[in-house]
Amino acid sequence: MAQSLHQIYGHIVFSTKDRKELITNEFESDLYKYICGTVKNLNGFVLAINGMPDHLHIIFRASKHVTDIDFIKQIKAGSSKWISTKTNQDFQWQKGYGWFSVGAKDIQAAIQYVENQKEHHKVMSFQDELRKILTSYKIDYDEKYLWD
């Protein structure tokens, strides 16, 4: 094949440090725009982004030019600095994150799931949501390390 083709979709989820409810309505939309710009600068594309005051979800098409660790590092570091500047507070994301693959045939369901976060969390906590995602992906985890 004379060209390199790449199409990988993902679902990233991460929380504020100690799950503090720091993402307010005042800057939530601007935060999402900032993150979308960061992903675009990394040659990726955001298909959906949404969350709650203590966490967020991103459905995206990954770049073939950036490693996974650099991708998430730039998203979290840049947005953390942006929030700290915007709100005049020492904002931090949790140390870890969840990065899950999404098949092309499942992308619409993943987008809808993220778009409905506000409704979804009226009946399910972030902790229960993450446990459910980890179980569905058959990921073995130690709960004491999930909630930093």
Inform me whether the pLDDT recorded for 148 exceeds 70.
Answer: no
Q: Does residue 3 belong to any structural domain of this protein?
A: no
Q: Which amino acid is at 55?
A: H
Domain total for the chain? 1
CB 66 within 8 A of CB 20: no
Q: Domain range holding 94?
A: 9-145
CATH number of the domain to which 34 belongs: 3.30.70.1290
**In this predicted model, what pLDDT tens digit does every residue of 18-56 receive, in sequence order?**
989 999 999 999 999 999 999 999 999 999 999 999 999
Determine, yes or no, domain membership for 1.
Answer: no
**Residue in this structure with the two tokens 């100690």, named with its chain if needed:** 18
In a domain, residue 4? The reply is no
- Half-sphere exposure of 76 toward its Cβ, with a 13 Å CA cutoff? 22
**Is residue 73 situated within a structural domain?**
yes
Residue in 108, 115, 112, 145 with CA at minimum distance from that of residue 130: 145
pLDDT at 31: 97
Using alpha carbons, select from 59, 48, 56, 49 the residue that is nearest to residue 21: 56
Place 126 in a pLDDT band, splitting at 50, 70 and 90: confident
